[in-house]
Amino acid sequence: MGNGIAQVFAQAGFDVRLVDAASGALDRARASIEKSVAKLVEKGRLTATERDGALQRLSTGTNVDLLADSDYVVEAIFEDKQAKQSLFARLDQLTRPDVILASNTSSISITTLGAATNRPDRVLGMHFMNPVPLMSLVELIRGQATSPESMLTAAELCIRLNKTAVEASDYPGFIANRVLMPMVNEAIFAVMEGVGTADAIDTVMKLGMNHPMGPLTLADFIGLDVCLAILEVLHEGLGDPKYRP
């Protein structure tokens, strides 16, 4: 999702540094951003000048030190608590103490990420939806120590990004995945038990409930590894067997 997040910030006029440990991922990100902005121009949602400006404002690199003079950071690495905590500790050393460190986590505790830093008041969740350039929602998550000022800054940023912010408390999976993932999980159980084929289940939800994608197609779109990681957070954090993946 990092490339989509970088794209919407660049489109909104911000200078963006997109960092990934793997240079191949950065090449794919740039290609995907170029394809996406081209599509938006084709649809009349972006002018050619805006497209060129956005691409010029975007730079990439594999060294996290590139973020040293950032004014705002959004983390979007894979869904693993330890990996995110060690990155937050590194970002805390690297950036100015007044900088907000936001996480695009789908489910991991913002309070726990904040506790890996010396600025838990400036750590919050900024959860975008895939595909980021098309989906208008951002879930904003307030950790136990997140300050009202940090939440306000993030909410104002969402307005500049042309997104609608909805605030959620720091419970496992927040709102989006607390509601979405049990449906995805149930669809997978329904395949396992032979209630219907994958196609049948997706068609029922598409035509019967007007979902743009069936839950199994959506699970592939999100990534089954990500779905599993989120369900494990729900299962462990809420302690109810109904969340078992």
- Interacting positions 142-181 with ligand CAA (CB under 6 A): 176-177
Q: Please report, for residues 13, 46, 131, 178, 235, the alpha-carbon distance to residue 106 in angstroms, rounded to integers and kept in the order given.
A: 26, 28, 14, 10, 14
| CB of residue 74 to ligand CAA, shortest distance in Å | 14
User: Which residue carries 């500790």 as its tokens?
Assistant: 89
The span of 19-27, 132-140, 161-169, 191-199 binding ligand CAA (CB under 6 A) equals 132-140
Could you say which of 50, 77, 89, 131 contacts ligand CAA (CB under 6 A)? 131
Query: How far apart are the two ends of the chain, measured CA to CA in Å?
Result: 23
Query: Which one among 41, 64, 135, 238 touches ligand CAA, defined by CB under 6 A?
Result: 135
Among residues 57 and 178, whose Cβ is nearest to ligand CAA?
178
Binding range to ligand CAA, per CB under 6 A, among 14-22, 57-65, 133-141, 193-201: 133-141
- Cβ proximity to ligand CAA: between 99 and 216 the closer is 216
Q: How far is the CB of 8 from ligand CAA (least distance, A)?
A: 10
212 scored as a contact of ligand CAA (CB under 6 A): yes
Of residues 59, 130, 147, 153, which one binds ligand CAA by CB under 6 A?
Answer: 130
> Tokens 């990500």 map to which residue?
226
Let me know how long the chain is.
Answer: 245
Report angle CA 182, 169, 205 to the nearest 5 degrees: 25
**Active-site annotation, residues:** 106, 127, 139, 177
Instruction: List, as own/partner pairs, every contact residues 183-187 make where C-beta atoms lie below 8 angstroms and the sequence separation is at least 24, other chains included.
Output: 183/215, 184/215, 184/216, 184/218, 184/219, 184/222, 184/227, 185/227, 185/231, 185/243, 185/245, 186/215, 187/214, 187/215, 187/216, 187/219
To ligand CAA, the closest distance from the beta carbon of 175 in angstroms equals 11
Of residues 99 and 180, the one with the C-beta less far from ligand CAA: 180
Per CB under 6 A, which of residues 14..73 are in contact with ligand CAA?
36, 39-40
Residue type, 160: R
Question: Does residue 3 bind ligand CAA (CB under 6 A)?
Answer: no
DSSP code of residue 161: T
**What span, in angstroms and rounded, lies between the C-alpha atoms of 204 and 100?**
43
Beta strands in the chain (DSSP E): 16-19, 58-61, 72-75, 100-103, 123-128, 137-142, 164-169
By beta-carbon proximity to ligand CAA, the closer residue of 151 and 180 is: 180
In the set 133, 172, 214, 215, which binds ligand CAA (CB under 6 A)? 133
Residues engaged in binding ligand CAA (CB under 6 A): 36, 39-40, 106, 129-131, 133-135, 176-177, 212-213, 218, 222
